[in-house]
């Protein structure tokens, strides 16, 4: 009796081998092009033209910055680490990448978006829609606008201070039987989320003070879960490998989250006089898709808010954590900083950011913040790509569709521009600068 496999055409059995041969042939063509590319003149490891596996692994593990740091130390301000991947840390070249030539963002940024055809400001890689979206959102990010929300900052910071006062006032703490332990990074992350919730959504998320009653007209638990839903959603969407295989997995926000935002929008429409003029209201009233001009729906509003929440909370809390890290590493700077600041009680009003920016009393604090941003930039690099035409940088011609990463962490630590670059030295930023502190190049 003839089996099913015997009925199949003979060539069907050879199909897997044919596909493998085709893939191998395609790989050989790619390697040949990479080897003959003008990028071959750029220094780098021997395997750079052959594969991106090492880069995929480093990005997945979060160790790409270490590989970049080692490569800059070995090869200099420009090197090639993949078939189309180049890193640059030269000051003038980075200026060209980000300003003069203004190369577009790499496609990796778009992967953060729920809908790649209508991403947020962070994920928008198309130049014209990005410009329109940036112009639309810019009023909510001016210094004057942020200064007007100072009372919300103070309320959230006050919640964190009160939490620390309660910890230090506990019977165990007063008896000094054991140290009071807290996760500072988590505390700062929770604080940033609550501040952004108050300033952008009209309500904090109850992350800093878990016992705080939120004034909502729907399930409080759903509102508190919004940050978690956003961060989980971001991780689910980052599936470039599956997309490369042709599996474009659809993603949507949790139903409860959409319902919560819809409830807020409905409440604001019903009571317009009680509405706070925040970013959410700006999007609800005036939000349009930057590619088509069509009015944004609830999901698209959430997309915009989610990207802002993700980018703003992580970067803010991470930078402040690095500030405390450097202050603790440098006791002499800690002592100098504390002497320069006023002594306040926990019940005293929170000092405004405008006061810190403008009062000479906080000049050394400002210098410490700038030095933290130099040593610990928000991200180690900024990914860009050449368009359809080659670009010349540092004497090398970069072909079309080359991925160019601006290594500004390396730039910030380069002895060519900074004396004693790894030293935490806030005096670099004082004006006038002390005579014994050399100026950067």
pLDDT tens digits along 170-204: 766 555 556 788 899 999 999 998 998 888 877 88
Stretch 74-90: mean pLDDT, rounded? 95
Q: What share of the chain is helix, strand, coil (3-state, %, to 5)?
A: 60, 5, 35
Residue 2 pLDDT greater than 90, yes or no: no
Q: pTM here?
A: 0.84
Residue 290 pLDDT greater than 70, yes or no: yes
pLDDT band at 4, cuts 50/70/90?
low
Least confident range of 3-7, 38-42, 178-182, 251-255: 3-7
Least confident range of 217-221, 296-300, 327-331: 217-221
Query: What does the pLDDT read at residue 115?
Result: 72
Query: What does the pLDDT read at residue 275?
Result: 75
pLDDT band at 363, cuts 50/70/90?
very high
- Of 371, 389, 415, 420, the residue nearest 89 (C-alpha): 415
| Cβ pair 136, 334 in contact under 8 A | no
**Who has greater pLDDT, 415 or 267?**
415
Domains and CATH numbers, the chain: 4-109+380-429 (no CATH), 131-329 (1.10.630.10)
How far apart CA 440 and CA 420 sit, in angstroms, is 10
CA distances from 307 to 109, 195, 287, 432 (A): 11, 15, 15, 39
CA distances from 360 to 285, 336, 351, 366 (A): 41, 15, 14, 10
- Of 417, 432, 406, 424, the residue nearest 102 (C-alpha): 406
**Who has greater pLDDT, 174 or 418?**
418
pLDDT band at 305, cuts 50/70/90?
confident
- Give ∠ CA 31-33-39 in degrees, rounded to 5: 100
Per cent of the chain over pLDDT 90 is 36
DSSP E strands: which ranges in 322-393?
A: 382-385, 391-393
Residue 357 pLDDT greater than 80, yes or no: yes
Stretch 127-131: mean pLDDT, rounded? 86
Per cent of the chain over pLDDT 70 is 84
Dump pLDDT digits (tens) for 131-178. Answer: 888 888 888 888 888 888 888 899 999 999 999 998 888 766 555 556
CB atoms within 10 A of CB 62: 8
């Amino acid at each position: 009796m003839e089996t099913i496999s015997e009925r199949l055409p003979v060539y069907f059995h050879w199909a897997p081998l044919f596909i493998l041969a085709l893939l191998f042939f395609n790989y050989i063509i790619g390697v040949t092009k990479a080897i003959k590319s003008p990028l071959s003149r750029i220094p780098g490891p021997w395997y750079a033209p052959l594969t991106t596996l090492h880069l995929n692994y480093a990005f997945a593990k979060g160790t790409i910055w270490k590989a970049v740091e080692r490569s800059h130390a070995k090869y200099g301000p420009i090197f090639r680490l993949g078939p189309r991947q180049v890193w640059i840390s030269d000051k003038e070249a980075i200026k060209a990448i980000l300003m003069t030539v203004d190369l577009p963002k790499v496609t990796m940024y778009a992967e953060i978006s729920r809908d790649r055809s209508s991403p947020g400001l962070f994920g928008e890689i198309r130049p014209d829609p990005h410009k329109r979206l940036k112009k639309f959102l810019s009023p909510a990010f001016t210094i004057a606008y942020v200064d007007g929300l100072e009372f919300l900052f103070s309320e959230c910071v006050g919640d964190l201070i009160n939490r620390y006062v309660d910890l230090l006032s506990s019977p165990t703490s007063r008896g000094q039987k054991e140290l009071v332990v807290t996760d500072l990074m988590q505390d700062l992350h929770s604080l940033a989320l609550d501040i952004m919730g108050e300033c952008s959504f009209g309500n904090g998320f109850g992350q800093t003070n878990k016992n705080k009653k939120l004034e909502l007209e729907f399930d409080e638990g759903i509102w508190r879960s919004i940050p978690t839903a956003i961060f989980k959603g971001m991780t689910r969407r980052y599936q470039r490998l599956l997309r490369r295989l042709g599996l474009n997995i659809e993603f949507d926000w949790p139903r409860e989250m959409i319902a919560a935002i819809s409830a807020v929008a409905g409440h604001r429409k019903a009571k317009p006089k009680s509405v706070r003029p925040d970013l959410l209201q700006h999007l609800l009233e005036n939000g349009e898709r930057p590619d088509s001009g069509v009015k944004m729906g609830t999901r698209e509003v959430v997309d915009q808010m989610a990207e802002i929440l993700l980018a703003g909370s992580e970067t803010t809390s991470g930078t402040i954590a690095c500030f405390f890290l450097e202050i603790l590493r440098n006791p002499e700077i800690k002592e100098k900083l504390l002497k320069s600041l006023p002594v306040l009680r926990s019940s005293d009003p929170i000092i405004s950011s405008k006061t810190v920016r403008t009062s000479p009393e906080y000049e050394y604090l400002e210098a410490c913040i700038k030095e933290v941003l130099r040593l610990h930039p928000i991200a180690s690099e900024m990914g860009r790509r050449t368009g359809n035409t080659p670009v010349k940088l540092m004497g090398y011609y970069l072909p079309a569709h080359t991925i160019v990463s601006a290594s500004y962490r390396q730039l910030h630590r380069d002895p060519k521009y900074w004396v004693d670059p790894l030293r935490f030295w806030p005096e670099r930023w004082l004006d006038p600068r002390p005579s014994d502190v050399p100026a950067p190049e």
